[in-house]
Structure 1
Amino acid sequence: MSCTTQAPPNCSISAPSVSAPSPKRMRNVVRLTASATSALPRWLLLAICIIYASFGLFGRDPWKNEDAAGFGVMWTMANGSVKDWLLPNLVGKALTGDGPFMYWLGAGFIRLLSPWVDASNASRVVPGLLFCIACAFVWYTAYLLGRRDEAQPFKYAFGGEPEPRDYGRTLADGALLILLACFGLAERGHETTPQLAQFAGTAMLVYGLVRSCDKPIQGALIWGTAIGFVGLSSSPVLVLALLICTLAMTVIVREVRPFYLVVLGVPVAVILIGAWVWPVLHFYPDDGEWWLRQWWRNSFDSFSGSPIQALSYALKNLPLFTWPAWPLAIWTFVSWSGLRRSPHVAVPLSVIGPLLVLVILQSHQSNRLFMLLLPPLSVLATFALPTLKRGAINAIDWFAMLSFTLLATFVWLVWTAGLFGFPAPLARNLARLAPGFQPEFKILSFVCAVAVTVCWFSLARWRLARHPKVLWRSVVLSSAGTTLMWVLLMTLWLPVVNYSRTYRDVAEQIADHLPPDYTCISPVRLGDAQIATFAYFGGMHFAFDEDCDVILRQDTQDYGEPSSISAFEWKLVWEGRRVADRDERFRLYVRIERPVAPVKRPRPKSLHRGSN
């Protein structure tokens, strides 16, 4: 790209076009002045992260589907034995899709905070901490890359270019703002699922690779620890893909030394994963071997699907999930064409590549892996900021300002319609989508929503009035807009969202109709989220390999009555569903003794047949 003579001094330009550019000239792809690298105040950046991470974690029930299932495993561990900690299960149902690391953290906080905080809220402390840890790794990764020589702007003859430290801090601020601006991070980043531990582990892995460029031993140890944490919280296929591709990257990026990664990093990863596998096989050889075999088998089965279906799903959902990181990451790859083998381009790509391959190979259409792309995408995308044209910057700003302002207005209108019945069409639609919901005015939620709305308009006014020249100006409105929307949804809309996504009411109704002396419940067609919520809120005892005297089943269609046993039959004692869900229907059957028909005895013959 090129700048006109009237362009501001911080506009980015390409190096002069020559037939055979020298390595020294290829470094000068950006021209900036020191005024373009003013860093955000640390307190403001920290406040944005804390606000974004904390809202939506507490004051709600476990939500369908994966959020409630993940909490159920944590709650089972916290109230179970050592076997439950080593072999993750949901009230007796083995879950072999992911490792136990995330469940360990959640169960530990449930145990730690149990006297003062209920289990549901205590388990969600972990997502908040892991989210902030991932943000820290993303910031420091971009900071280290921004200080490297190959990423530095053009050095003017009389000075005026930014210092490497200031340039790195500005790029780090931009990377963090890009991460917070990604649409898909809002809900996924607040769930009690193993994907959040994988998300933090991926951010740590990228940081370890970058750190190994200047401190090989320290970077290799961090990289190995990250591989171990990802392995403990995910599946073998994900670990092997990241391990192979990041090691292969060292052939291209000479700054990353493979010797230390192999000699120090790999053993650390093996030790961490082995610290779980060895006790499993030692103390529970039969059950442990079966669990690990299923864990390995399910890992490969989950990535053996049709690429056409998974690719179609990814093309529809991945661009929105990763917006605005992916277009900026592509522009980084284009604008830094002469330095694609440098760490600030090649290292993030070495993590993005295998993750994209796994996304396409998924057996089921899911966005579980989408979140793992965000840390390396954000780091790669921040290096597009110094090379963006003024028109692209203004387009991003105006899109963010208009879209988030309209969305915030809509959230406020729906909240007003639910509380006051005006506007009437919105009130009718809300009543149809959430029948039976009774809105309540909560002063604390209202104050938080007003405060974040005022901050949004103040920031938009500042951006329009001041026209700042700093690099992060093109993404500050996007990150603030996603924070605005998430806070508004988790304050004004939290009651109706919680009402629509919890099974608490159904669990309490079922518990009221259970016999006081029942032995166990056999679940039929119940999902993991339903089992977890019913067990937690209803205190129900489920069994998966026993002959139980109660059946609880979910019927999306009429399957008929359960077949009776010779001496018993099933009696329907309750039938119902969540008010906000018309597709689900639950039926509760209790086993009772089959009534015995009275035996008809022949009438005795009279001894005297009198005849007069």
Structure 2
Amino acid sequence: MKPVRLPASATNALPRWGLLLLCLLYILSGLIGRDPWKNDDAAGFGIMWSMANGGWQDWLSPHIVGLPMPQEGPLAYWIGAVCIQLFGWLLGDALAARMATVLFFLLGSFAVWHGTYLLGRRSEAQPLRLAFGGQPEPTDYGRTLADGALLIYLGCLGLLVHSHSTSANALQVSMVALALYAAARYFDNRSSRTTLLLGGVLGLLALTRGWVVPLALWLGMAALDLARTRKLPLRLLGLSLPVALLVGGSWAIAAEWLQPFNDSPIEDWMAWNLDHLNLPRWDALKYLLSNGIWFSWPAWPYAAWAVYAWRKQAMPLHIALPLVFCIMLTTLALLYPRSNEGALLPLLPPLAVLAAFGLPTMKRGAINAVDWFSVMILTTCAGFIWLGWIAKQTGWPAQLAKNAFKLAPGFKPEFSLPTLLIAVLATAAWILLVHWRISRRPSVLWRAVVLSSGGVILCWLLLMTLWLPWGNYMRSYATVAREMAAELPPRNCIASTITPAQRASFAYFSLAPFARLDSMPCDYLLLPGTSRGQAEQQVRRSGVTWRLVWEGHRAADRNERFRLYRRID
């Protein structure tokens, strides 16, 4: 017997405009007024910016102003570079590149919603018919489950930072969601069109961040198809796989044929992909268990419950398909040689879809427990964000203000009335949402996750309004890059050993012409280091006489220093 019994009143769907507004509020918070931040965000922007300001060779061989970066794939950077070319004159290059980030996120949200809708309207997913009628229609039931899946997806803590970064990670998670949607369509009718669509999506996923993930997903879907039909999945073999290879290999073919910069990035790209395939490691399992719990909250409890609740139904497709995705992606996370959140990120879309099918089977007590946990934790987090901002602006509470300024020495608080009003309105909306949930106790399915999603969005919005100047001060290289530019004569070549994110930031903010290869003879040399002795050792090993002309650091980090040397022989 199916574990679901619901009246039609439990499947009232959210208005489409409300979901779109919620998605836009989520993704636009933190994109406007933010500098490229260090690590993946600045590095990804650097690749996009280099492509947008370069020629055809720059598009085939990804790099950050001369530093080769072929490791992941070019698709996300192609889209970002196109956005810079289209909107850079109006929005500025940094914000224009983030238009690609908005597109990536909306694509993933669309795929999560529609993939869940397709699975939710299938006959085996429908609730039991009630004795006197009144059960929901399949389309209404599917729409309500899709609303719940999208809310769970938005509430995943691990998605927050990565979905707002200009990196391949932001596109990869959306392409995994799109692959799940295409797979749901394929298993619906197994037509040639849906098979070709699935192959094309997997090929684009290979262009986004390597071929390992799409290959694992294809193998999982082939095994699922074989288990369900007891026949060889000929369409997957004869249609989707060749299309995936053609689309995914198009960049490799073009790069090998045209040899940008008299070289091909494909060898390094293949090595980066093969590096993801190792023997399972105990450290990887510990990282998955310790970090996956918070990274995929609140999706994993509902997903685990969905598998348990539907365990007696011979694994219907709405459980089996996202579960296969989760199994294959978890296996890859265990094979990954380094502990990295990027290995966990592709798990979020299938977990959100699977979690949606746990909502109709959860007891009221369990739903209330999750709600109260969300209210207490997220309201407390929002309160601390407000309290920290008040301390930063007024100096009270004194100890909290002292700690905030200790983390960011030299920071001068900024007051902005528009951002304050946005934060106040968001907080008021949260209070009204909590009151609505507690006072009315609605019976709709998505009530179990609306507080989790709303609270996460509130905290992120508060951080990206009240604390955005502090975040720029802590994580941007804009100030130190402009300081260096004042000491650098125009059009002078710079060799450097700084990180990719630092290189991108210095190139963008100072317009410094970095050398394509660090071994090229340049008049200037930029070195990182915590002490002058380390830098001097590197200078002496170069065999060239250099003179220090500038030394600087970010005000928020006195240990991370940069030194600019000029050749004097």
TM-score (ref. length: structure 1): 0.89
Equivalent pair of 1:213/1:255 in contact (CA under 8 Å)? no
Structure 2 Cα separation of the partners of residues 327 and 73 of structure 1: 38
Is the CA contact 1:255–1:343 (under 8 Å) kept in the aligned structure 2? no
Q: Which residue of 2 aligns with 1:334?
A: 308
| Secondary structure of the corresponding residue to residue 490 of structure 1 | helix
Write the mapping of 1:86-235 to structure 2, written as runs, cut at 5 A. 86-217=60-191, 218-235=193-210
CA 1:32–1:408 in structure 2 vs 1: closer, same or farther (change >3 Å)?
A: same
Give, in angstroms, the shift of residue 285 of structure 1.
7.5
Q: Which residue of 1 aligns with 2:506?
A: 534
Paired residues for 1:357-368 under 5 Å? 357-368=331-342
Residue from 231, 239, 242 that aligns with 1:264 = 239
Aligned residue identity for 1:250: D
Asked if 1:521 corresponds to 2:494, the answer is yes
Q: How far apart are 1:556 and its partner, in Å?
A: 3.0
Secondary structure, counterpart of 1:262 in structure 2: helix
Give the residue type in structure 1 aligned to 2:33: G
Q: Distance in 2 between matches of 1:136 and 1:568?
A: 56
In structure 2, the CA distance between the partners of 1:247 and 1:565, relative to structure 1 (3 Å rule), is: closer
Q: Is the 8 A contact 1:418 1:439 kept in 2?
A: yes
CA 85–155 in structure 1, closer or farther in 2 if over 3 Å, else same: same
Amino acid corresponding to residue 394 of structure 2 in structure 1: F
Q: Distance in 1 between matches of 2:63 and 2:246?
A: 24
Whether the aligned pair in 1 keeps the contact of 2:205 and 2:248 (CA below 8 Å) is no
Match of 1:589 among 548, 565, 568: 565
* Residues 382-432 of structure 1: CA deviation (Å, up to 9, x unaligned): 111011011110101001111111111111111111111122111111110
Q: Secondary structure at the match of 1:124?
A: helix
Alignment of 1:566-581 (within 5 A): 569-581=545-557
3-state SS of the aligned residue for 1:574?
A: strand
* Alignment partner, residue 217 of structure 2: 242
Deviations 1:324-368 (A, max 9, x none): 101111111111002253111111112111211111122222101
Question: For the structure 1 residues 284 and 522, does the alpha-carbon distance in structure 2 shift closer, same or farther, using more than 3 Å as the test?
Answer: same
Partner of 2:255: 280
Cα separation, 2, equivalents of 1:257 and 1:215: 16
2:481 corresponds to 1:500:
no
**How far did 1:252 drift?**
2.3
Query: In structure 1, how many angstroms separate the alpha carbons of the residues matched to 2:509 and 2:551?
Result: 18
> For structure 1, which segment, 395-404 or 246-255, has the greater mean C-alpha deviation from structure 2 after superposition?
246-255
Q: Deviations over 1:238-271 (max 9, x none)?
A: 2322222221221223499933333332232222
Structure 2 residue identity aligned to 1:464: I
Partner of 2:57: 83
1:565: how far off?
9.0
Q: CA offset at residue 141 of structure 1?
A: 1.0
Distance in 2 between residues matched to 1:472 and 1:306, nearest whole Å:
37
> Residues 36 and 334 (structure 1 numbering): CA distance in 2 closer, same or farther, change over 3 Å?
same
Which residue of 360, 365, 375 maps to 1:391?
365
Question: Residue in 2 aligned with 1:476?
Answer: 450
In the alignment, the residues of structure 1 paired with residue 350 and residue 313 of structure 2 have an alpha-carbon distance, to the nearest angstrom, of 17
- Per mean C-alpha deviation after superposition, the further-off stretch among 111-120 and 275-284 is 275-284
Contact 2:491 2:513 in 1 (8 A): no
Q: Which amino acid aligns with 2:503?
A: I
- Deviation of the 1:119 alpha carbon: 0.6
Which residue is equivalent to 1:605?
A: none
Q: Using the alignment, how far apart are the partners of 1:219 and 1:151 within structure 2?
A: 21
Given that residues 57 and 260 in structure 2 are in contact (C-alpha distance below 8 angstroms), is that contact kept between their aligned partners in structure 1?
Answer: no
Hey, which of these two has a bigger chunk of helix by percent?
A: 2
Q: Letter of the 2:205 partner, please give it.
A: V
Tell me how far apart the structure 2 counterparts of residues 62 and 496 of structure 1 sit (CA, whole Å): 14
| Cα gap change, 1:293 to 1:232, in 2 (>3 Å) | same
Q: Tell me, what secondary structure is at the counterpart of 1:589?
A: strand
Distance 1:515 1:256, change over 3 A: farther
Residue segments in structure 1 that go unaligned for 5+ positions in a row: 1-25, 594-612
Please state whether the residue corresponding to 1:280 is helix, strand or coil. Answer: helix
Give the superposed CA RMSD.
1.9
- In structure 2, distance between residues paired with 1:507 and 1:560: 18
Structure 2: distance between partners of 1:565 and 1:497: 37
Query: Which amino acid is 2:343 matched to?
Result: L
Check the 8 A contact 1:339/1:345 in 2, yes or no. Answer: no
- Contact 1:253/1:346 (CA < 8 Å) preserved in 2? no
Q: Is the 8 A contact 1:212 1:256 kept in 2?
A: no
Instruction: In structure 1, give the amino acid aligned to 2:494.
Output: I
| Cα distance in 1 between the residues matched to 2:235 and 2:489 | 63
Cα deviation per residue 1:416-462 (whole Å; 9 max; x = unaligned)? Answer: 11111122111111110111111111111111111111110001001
**Offset, 1:541:** 1.5
C-alpha separation between the residues in 1 aligned to 2:504 and 2:231? 45
1:291-440 equivalences under 5 Å are: 291-304=265-278, 307-440=281-414
Separation (CA, whole Å) in 1 of partners of 2:51 and 2:228: 43
2:198 alignment partner AA = W
2:31 paired residue among 57, 60, 64 = 57
**Deviation of the 1:314 alpha carbon:** 2.0
Q: Please, which moves more after superposition, 277-286 or 424-433?
A: 277-286
Following superposition, the deviation at residue 532 of structure 1 comes to: 0.4
Confirm or deny: 8 A CA contact 1:335 1:387 kept in the other structure: yes
Please, which moves more after superposition, 268-277 or 226-235? 268-277
Partners in 1 of 2:535 and 2:208 — Cα distance?
A: 41
1:552 deviates by 0.8
Deviation of residue 574 (structure 1)?
Answer: 1.6
1:441 to 412, 415, 419: 415
Q: Indicate if the aligned counterparts of 2:255 and 2:265 stay in contact, CA closer than 8 A.
A: no
Gaps of 5+ in 2: none
Q: Identify the residue that residue 19 of structure 1 maps to in structure 2.
A: none
Aligned-partner Cα distance in 2 for 1:255–1:71: 47
CA distance in 1, matches of 2:162, 2:544: 46
Query: What is the distance in 2 between the residues matched to 1:516 and 1:444?
Result: 39
CA distance in 2, matches of 1:457, 1:566: 62
Q: Give the whole-Å Cα distance in 2 for the aligned partners of 1:194 and 1:567.
A: 38
Secondary structure of the structure 1 residue equivalent to 2:520: coil
Secondary structure at the aligned position of 2:103 is classed as: helix
- Out of 337-346 and 303-312, give the one that drifted further: 303-312
**1:567, distance to aligned residue in structure 2 (A):** 9.6
C-alpha distance in 2 between matches for 1:256 and 1:589: 67
TM-score normalized with structure 2 length: 0.95
C-alpha distance after superposition, 1:44-64 (max 9, x if no partner): 222111100111112111001
